[in-house]
Structure 1
Amino acid sequence: MAEVKFENIVKEFEDANKGKVLAVNDANFVVHDKEFLVFVGPSGCGKTTSLRMVAGLERQTSGDIYIGDRLVNKVHPKDRDIAMVFQDYALYPHMTIRENLAFGLKNLKTPKAEIEKKITEAASILSIENLLDRKPRELSGGQKQRIAVGRAIVRNPSVFLFDEPLSNLDAKLRVQMRVELSELHKRLGATIIYVTHDQVEAMTLGQRIVVMNAGKIQQIATPEELYENPNNMFVAGFIGSPPMNFAKARLEGNQLHTATHTFTVPKGKLVGYKKYDGKEVIMGIRPEDILSTQLMPSVPTENVIKANLKVVEHLGAELLIYFDIGNDQLTGRVSADAKYKPLTQVDLYFNLKKMQLFDPETQQRI
């Protein structure tokens, strides 16, 4: 396996209506050897373009790409020692699964005995031994996805590239395939770069995550770091389900004044906020840090508000509750034991030890 390095990568496209479009803007990162790195972001953010540049399917406008110690700017895709798994499986319908798996190896003039050995090993890893003599039309979506992964495994590449491979599967099968891909990474000890628009998928699969927006890398960090210490409001709002809540506020001393409520900032947090005293800020708080007072052993004396619930969503063991602070809608996640109903007033405790404050102009975390 090998590491992958982007140095000052810029990618521009020509658009007939808009002229030059900056798809990737000065990207710098290293995918470590045997790491599972995930690119995540909304449609058009540059994540798939970045993956295609690693594969050599797109040529960067400027900057350097390394796979291992080798500069691959001018290396043909077939010579980059990578294997790519696409969203649409790309299986040959007239071939058996065995023939699909062997196709790339035959093109590389691999000896027949070695091809059979690699197919047997890949089939064992993916538990598809009983599918080898079938045609793709006889398989389910999940089985087809395993075959697409198997075709990459038999290549034994330095780097595996996955381009939204689970997006065509139903929700239950996506969960199953996430587990299987995670286990596969452990078994192969492979370097994997994975692209998805699904932040839950990114958080469950990635050892580190690259969050992109509008062609720019917003943050590269572990799932835990992204969730607990997002660089900016975009990352905070994109990572997490439901996402972080935001409310306009004004910081005065140790008080946060919103349109309708006043909160007390915990002493341990005040040190980092000194230069924003007397200024407008954005308060960010996760839904799970808004708690039902009726389920607390003792009700705190500070940071408890009366909220008028607009909507209550039942999710089995949990409730998602929706209410307003001024013009800002907030979401809380509480235990179903609270038995909340819509259009009622309830007491909620805001755990501000877990809150974040953001600069309203730069949207950067303070």
Structure 2
Amino acid sequence: MARVVFDNIRKEYEDEKRGNFTAVAGSSFTIEDKEFVVFVGPSGCGKTTSLRMIAGLEKQTSGDIMIGDRIVNHLHPKDRDIAMVFQDYALYPHMTIRENLSFGLKNLKRPTAEIEQKVGAASAILGLDDMLERKPRELSGGQRQRVAVGRAIVRDPQVFLFDEPLSNLDAKLRIQMRVELSELHKRLGATIVYVTHDQVEAMTLGERIVVMNKGVIQQIAPPTELYNNPSNMFVAGFIGSPAMNFIDAVIEGGKAVVGGGRSFDLPAHVVQGLRAYEGKPVVLGIRPEHIFGEDFALHVPHDHKLAAAVQVIENLGSENLVYFRVGERTVTAKVHPETSATIGQLKTFVLDLSKAHFFDPASEERILF
């Protein structure tokens, strides 16, 4: 296996209507040997373009890409020693599973004994032994995706590239395949670069996550770091389900004043960190699980209370999502399922502001203190 290096990579497209369009704007990062890295972001953010540039399916406008010790800028995909797994499986329908798995190796004119050994090993790892003589149409979506992964494994590449491979599967199969891919990475000790738009998938699979938006890398960090210390409002709002709440506030005399004139005392270190924002607006960010119905806020100080009319309640069984408004913003609270709340009710909520973040409304960057 090998590391992958992006050195100031830029990708521009020419568009007759919009002129030049920048898909990736000066990205630099290193994916270490045997690391599982996930690219995540909304459609059009540049994540798939980045993956395709690693594969050699797209040519960067400027910058260098390294795989292992080689700069691969001018190498064809077949010469980069990578294997790619696509969203649509891309299996040959007229071939058996055994033939699909061995096809690439036969094209490379590998010895028959080597092909049989590698196909047998991949089949055993992925649980395909009893399916080898079937055709793709006889398999489920999850089984077909396993075959696509197996076809990559037999090539024994330096880097595995996955382009939204679970998008066509139902929710239950996606969870199962996430577990299988995570176990596969541990077993193979492979370098894996994985693209998805699903932040839950990214959080559960990635050792590190590259969050992108509009061609720009917003943050690169392990899942817990992204969740607990987002660098800006985009990352804070994209990572986490439900998303982080944003509440407009003004800092006045060591307090955060929010919609309706409700003010919250702030810890001394927060007051110190927000000195430059005295009398100015900020955005208070707080995750839904840090907002409690007053009747079940058992382990949180009741210093920061907020009364608001309940708009919507989503009963999820193990928890309820309660929606209400603070100023112009809709806020979500993830509360205990036995929390008493009815639509239209004026409900008192307790905010755990020890877990809150503050953002500059102009730059949308997190205020560090």
TM range (shorter): over 0.9
Counterparts of 1:149-298 in structure 2, within 5 Å, are 149-260=149-260, 261-297=262-298
SS in 1 for 2:259: coil
1:341 paired residue number: 342
Asked if 1:324 is matched to 2:325, the reply is yes
Paired letter, 1:263: F
Distance 2:22 2:297 in 1: 51
* Distance change (3 Å), C-alpha of 1:299 and 1:127: closer
2:85 paired residue number: 85
Paired letter, 2:271: L
SS in 2 for 1:336: coil
TM-score (norm 1): 0.98
TM-score (norm 2): 0.97
How many corresponding residue pairs? Answer: 366
SS in 2 for 1:14: strand
**Per-residue Cα deviation, 1:121-159 (whole angstroms, up to 9, x for no partner):** 000000110111000111110000000000000000000
Contact 2:302–2:350 (Cα < 8 Å) also in 1: no
Distance 2:236 2:21 in 1: 26
SS in 1 for 2:156: coil
1:262 CA drift (Å): 1.3
1:354 CA drift (Å): 0.6
Contact 1:269–1:353 (Cα < 8 Å) also in 2: no
Most deviating of 234-243 and 248-257: 248-257
* Distance change (3 Å), C-alpha of 1:341 and 1:44: same
Most deviating of 296-305 and 260-269: 296-305
**Per-residue Cα deviation, 1:318-358 (whole angstroms, up to 9, x for no partner):** 00000001111100001102142221122111111110110
Distance 2:106 2:275 in 1: 66
1:109 paired residue number: 109
Contact 1:293–1:299 (Cα < 8 Å) also in 2: no
Contact 1:38–1:206 (Cα < 8 Å) also in 2: yes
* Distance change (3 Å), C-alpha of 1:169 and 1:299: closer
Distance 1:207 1:292 in 2: 34
Distance 2:334 2:173 in 1: 26
Counterparts of 1:16-27 in structure 2, within 5 Å, are 16-27=16-27
1:274 CA drift (Å): 1.7
Distance 1:15 1:149 in 2: 35
Distance 2:207 2:336 in 1: 30
2:73 paired residue number: 73
2:96 paired residue number: 96
Paired letter, 2:324: F
SS in 2 for 1:234: helix
SS in 1 for 2:274: helix
Asked if 1:9 is matched to 2:9, the reply is yes
Indicate the RMSD between aligned Cα atoms, in angstroms: 1.0
1:253 CA drift (Å): 2.6
Most deviating of 146-155 and 265-274: 265-274
Structure 1 residue ranges without an equivalent (≥5): none
1:301 CA drift (Å): 4.7
Asked if 1:303 is matched to 2:318, the reply is no
Contact 2:300–2:352 (Cα < 8 Å) also in 1: no
Contact 2:39–2:212 (Cα < 8 Å) also in 1: yes
Structure 2 residue ranges without an equivalent (≥5): none
Distance 1:154 1:270 in 2: 58
SS in 2 for 1:118: helix
Contact 1:126–1:146 (Cα < 8 Å) also in 2: yes
1:271 CA drift (Å): 2.7
1:363 paired residue number: 364
**Per-residue Cα deviation, 1:77-109 (whole angstroms, up to 9, x for no partner):** 001000000000000001101000011101111
Distance 1:19 1:61 in 2: 15
Paired letter, 1:39: F
Distance 1:302 1:227 in 2: 25
1:299 CA drift (Å): 7.4
* Distance change (3 Å), C-alpha of 1:301 and 1:331: closer
1:291 CA drift (Å): 1.1
SS in 1 for 2:144: helix
